[in-house]
Structure 1
Amino acid sequence: MDTGFGGMPDVGWLMQGLPGARIVARSNSREMQARLCALGTGLAVLPKPLGAVTPGLVEVNIGSEPPSRETWLGYHRDMKRLPRLRALVDLIVESAAMR
């Protein structure tokens, strides 16, 4: 994570769980963090879907669960009753609940 994101809950959680770790790279791009980890550069807190599709990554348990995140989905109120939108929202909610 770059210094602009140092106050995010997952950064504090990672630093608390691994107090002796040193920072070797910073990026606010989760994809770049995943690539660096796959190359053996270090550890990062990544979304599970990204970790699942990035070859070379291994999930590591540091003794506690990472902080959760809220996800917001916005759409125009005129589209609220559109069946295609409702189907998409249901799919996203179901998919997120499985993670």
Structure 2
Amino acid sequence: MMFRLGRTAEPTRLVSSIALPAMLTYVATALFGLADMWVIGRLGDAAVQSAVELGAKFMMALLIVFALSFLIGQRVSSREVAPLVIVGGYATSIGSAISRKAG
């Protein structure tokens, strides 16, 4: 089954085109968090460390929301909503499978 994305692409390529930048973002975020904890950990105050971690989580949530709204806006403006629905279905399936295994 083929989908049109400016050129013909298969679903795995479509998913990986979205997943690869997300994975790189998560790795970079983890490295920034490690650096934050190392620097703030030198102060020796647990309240400050928790505040930095909460702030990092909040910023990551904002980043994800803005990135997803940008991708959705791109697809809607180019009238290629079908691949977005398929990728959303894949993501929902994978997420529910992971949550079943974890829970």
**TM-score (structure 2 length as normaliser):** 0.27
Bigger relative contact order (CA 8 A; separation at least 6): 2
Larger-gyration structure (1/2): 2
